[in-house]
Chains A and B, each alone.
Chain A
Amino acid sequence: MVDVRKIRGGEGLDDINDELDEILDSVVENTRQATEAFFAAYDENPDPKILAAWLQPRAWREIDYVFLLNEQIRRYGLAFERRHITLLAKQSFQEAEHYEMVGRAIESLGGEVPVSAPPQAKPWSDFLWDCLERHPLAAIAAWNCSETSASGSFEPTFKAGERHGFDEVVRIYKQIENDEKFHVGLGRQVLAAYAKTDRDREEILRAMRGMRDIAWKTFTPESVAQARQA
């Protein structure tokens, strides 16, 4: 009934919609598999510290989005309609709330909330900031791919939450899931509204393809194990 990827509000992506959806489907699926693999490993050894470590790059993403969104608005926002500036700022506020909520969950699991980019989140963060330099729509495209990928992580997280009773994490992710629908729809609308030229579309595809290869990686059990060894 509601598919935020089919948001109305612009025609700039009409020629590349199919390709974008292919990229997004594949990154959602990779994230789902990575999350399932993580919780399969977690079932064997349900140590809250491991769950906290898994949430750390997630918390970093939330606060990095705040920085990215504000920089996006500062640099390129005045070429957008006012409504889109307001909505991007609203997204930024919600990402700050997510940082706060995920941070609280990490603390309740006995972990530490990151205040600089954890090594596992570094490739993701670097890629987004490069995109922001490259083209006014590239960072939005990259985070749209990353935020869409998160939708693959919700179901396995909720199921594992039932098995292990981490209700607070589930409650937080239910709210984040709602907000993510907004962020994904908004990103797609902004891209469609302001992409005008083939170069715009190429940069959007380039950013999405790049993010496709990065976004799911921090959800894997291997990434968590590496981080805990470091």
Chain B
Amino acid sequence: MTTFDSCSLEQASKLLDLVITRLDRVAENVLSIELAAPNGEPLPSWQAGAHIDVLLPGGIVRQYSLCGDPDRTDHWRIGVLRDPCSRGGSIYVHEELKIGGGLTVAGPRNNFGLVDSTRYLFIAGGIGITPIIPMIRAVAGQRKPWTLLYGGRSRRSMAFLDDIALISGGETHIVPQDEFGLLDLDRFLGRYDPATAVYCCGPSPLLNAVEKKCQTWQAGALHLERFAPSEKVATRETGSFEVELARSGRHIVVPPYRSLLDILEENGCQVTNSCRAGICGTCLVRVLSGVPEHNDDVLSRADQEAGEVMLVCVSRAKSDRLVLDL
């Protein structure tokens, strides 16, 4: 079972206001961003596999893996792919960030840490290369044997090829799909070798294929990180908003870090509830106007998008004001 590093979880809840010190287009649709503390102070330490949460306008929070050198505490580097179906995260990063501008982040946090092993096989697809680069550096630094299998649509779309070329001591297979087709997983994963730790990050189809190949392996042999679009993490409880209670015409204000349900109760509004955590669905309230920001785990995506109901224990507002059927 997964064990969680409570120390890094604590660090992850602290917000840092950083300055953008460098922007480079490192491949088609991939922007490399360097961040530093405004006063030049050292940044919190991190280890290969870690990511940070980047807080963007409109309450958008996105995760990006740290892909620079963990020994450099004067700056962090992330690499961001522009997602054509973006709801705003990567598009904003690509279009709005400027050198000298600020960026609020939380972290670092690591769910993809390196385990000790005799040998390592790294499999990266597309932007999934980002957490892998510091891993290879760490393993190469320990002079342990490693193999990298890195696939992408075309050579032009594959970020950080120069950085990879500079890391010595391993075996690198760069596999642009338009030249060589898909990654030859059979060749590299055909046989289970308990002395090799396998790390894989990339698009879902690649992760699923790798997972399938390794399904009979011993638990813990395969390490995956999914760049799944953020669901839960967007619940930074910041920003106040106003709520109108339609039945009484009363107006109340929900301050940052207080739940809407708490404030309703303080104002004498009884709302059925149980978990107060977005799980049971019992605190459902009808939204008559305004745009809710859904932070629950249980309303269907369709209901969330329709925005006609919300769970007031965890959800907040994207608009400045909500009118509720209360």
Additional A-B contact list (6), CB under 8 Å, known A182-B279, A186-B275: A82-B4, A82-B6, A181-B274, A182-B282, A186-B279, A197-B219
For residue A4, give the distance in angstroms from its CB to the closest CB of chain B: 6
Complex contacts, A83 vs chain B, CB 8 Å: 277
Does any Cβ of A come within 8 Å of B267's Cβ?
Answer: no
A191 to B101, CA, bound (A): 43
Contacts A181-B280, A199-B219; A2 near B275 (Cβ below 8 A): no
Q: Is there a chain A Cβ closer than 8 Å to B171's Cβ?
A: no
Chain A, 192-208, CB within 8 A of any chain B CB: 194, 196-199
Residues of B within 8 A of A (CB): 1-4, 6, 9, 215, 219, 231-232, 272-275, 277, 279-282, 284, 297-300, 303, 309
**Stretch of A5-13, A59-67, A99-107, A113-121 lying at the B interface:** A5-13
Whether A194 pairs with B1 at a CB distance below 8 angstroms is yes
Contacts of A197 in B (CB 8 A): 219
How long is the Cα–Cα vector from A31 to B232 in the complex, in angstroms? 34
B298 touches A185 (CB 8 A): yes
Determine the residue in chain B with the shortest Cβ distance to A193: B2
The verdict on A171 contacting chain B, using a C-beta distance below 8 Å, is no
Q: Which residue of B lies closest to A8 (CB)?
A: B297
Whether A78 lies near B3 (C-beta < 8 A) is yes
Question: Within the complex, which residue of A94, A136, A178 is in contact with B282, where a contact is CB–CB below 8 Å?
Answer: A178
Contact between A82 and B9, CB atoms less than 8 A apart = yes
The residue in chain A whose Cβ has the minimal distance to the Cβ of B10 is A82
Q: A79-B1, A182-B275, A196-B1 are in contact. Are A7 and B219 (CB under 8 A)?
A: no
- Please classify the interface of chain B as helix (H, G, I), strand (E, B), loop, or mixed, using the class held by over half of its residues: loop
Q: From A197, which residue of chain B is reached at the shortest CB distance? A: B219
Contact B4 A79 (CB under 8 A): yes
A179 within 8 A of B: yes
In the bound assembly, the distance between CA atoms of A83 and B233 in angstroms comes to 13
Residue with the greatest number of chain A CB neighbours at <10 A, chosen from B6, B272, B275, B282: B275
Chain B, Cβ-Cβ closest to A195: B1
Please give, as numbers and ranges, the residues of chain A lying within 8 Å of B273 by CB-CB distance: 178
For residue A94, which residues in chain B have a CB less than 8 angstroms away from its CB? 274
Taking CB atoms, residues of chain B closer than 8 Å to A71 are: none
Q: How far is the CB of A117 from chain B (nearest CB, A)?
A: 27
Does A7 lie within 8 Å of B277, measured CB to CB?
A: no
Tell me which of B4, B275, B284, B297 contacts A1 (CB under 8 A): B284
A8 in contact with B231 (CB, 8 Å): yes
A178 touches B280 (CB 8 A): yes
Q: Known interface pairs A87-B277, A90-B275. Does A6 touch B3 (Cβ–Cβ under 8 Å)?
A: no
A127 to B215, CA, bound (A): 30
Closest Cβ neighbor of A181 among chain B residues: B280
Are A2 and B2 touching (Cβ within 8 A)? Answer: no
| Residue from the set B2, B9, B272 with the largest chain A CB neighbour count within 10 Å | B2
CB distance from A134 to the nearest CB of B (A): 14
Q: Given A2-B298, A197-B219, do A185 and B281 touch, yes or no (CB 8 Å)?
A: yes
From the candidates A79, A90, A186, name the one contacting B3 in the complex (CB within 8 A).
A79
Query: Which among A2, A76, A78, A81 is the interface contact of B281 at CB below 8 angstroms?
Result: A2
With A7-B298, A189-B279 already in contact, the answer to whether A2 and B284 are too (CB < 8 A) is yes
Q: Which residues of A contact B300 (CB under 8 A)?
A: 1, 3, 6
A182 touches B284 (CB 8 A): no
Name the A residues within 8 Å of B215 (CB-CB).
198
Q: A79-B4, A182-B275 are in contact. Are A189 and B282 (CB under 8 A)?
A: no
Whether the Cβ atoms of B297 and A9 lie closer than 8 Å is yes
A185: nearest chain-B partner, CB-CB? B279
Encode A116-154 as 1/0 by CB contact (under 8 A) with B: 000000000000000000001000000000000000000
15 pairs, A vs B, C-beta closer than 8 Å:
A4-B298, A7-B279, A8-B231, A8-B297, A9-B232, A76-B1, A78-B3, A79-B3, A82-B6, A83-B277, A90-B275, A178-B273, A182-B277, A185-B275, A194-B1
Contact among A79, A80, A189, A194 for B297, CB-based, below 8 A? A189
Taking the closest CB of chain A, its distance from the CB of B229, in whole angstroms, is 12
B241 to chain A, nearest CB (A): 23
Chain B nearest CB: distance from A17 CB in Å? Answer: 15
Report whether A1 and B219 are in contact in the complex, using a CB–CB cutoff of 8 Å: no
Q: Evaluate contact between B219 and A2: CB separation under 8 angstroms.
A: no
Q: Which residues of A contact B231 (CB under 8 A)?
A: 8-9
**B residues in contact with A82, CB < 8 Å:** 4, 6, 9
Which of B2, B219, B277, B280 has a CB less than 8 Å from the CB of A4? B280
Q: With the chains together, A181 CA to B275 CA distance in Å?
A: 9
A1 contact set on B, CB distance < 8 A: 281, 284, 299-300, 303, 309
The reply to whether B297 and A2 contact each other, CB–CB distance below 8 Å, is no
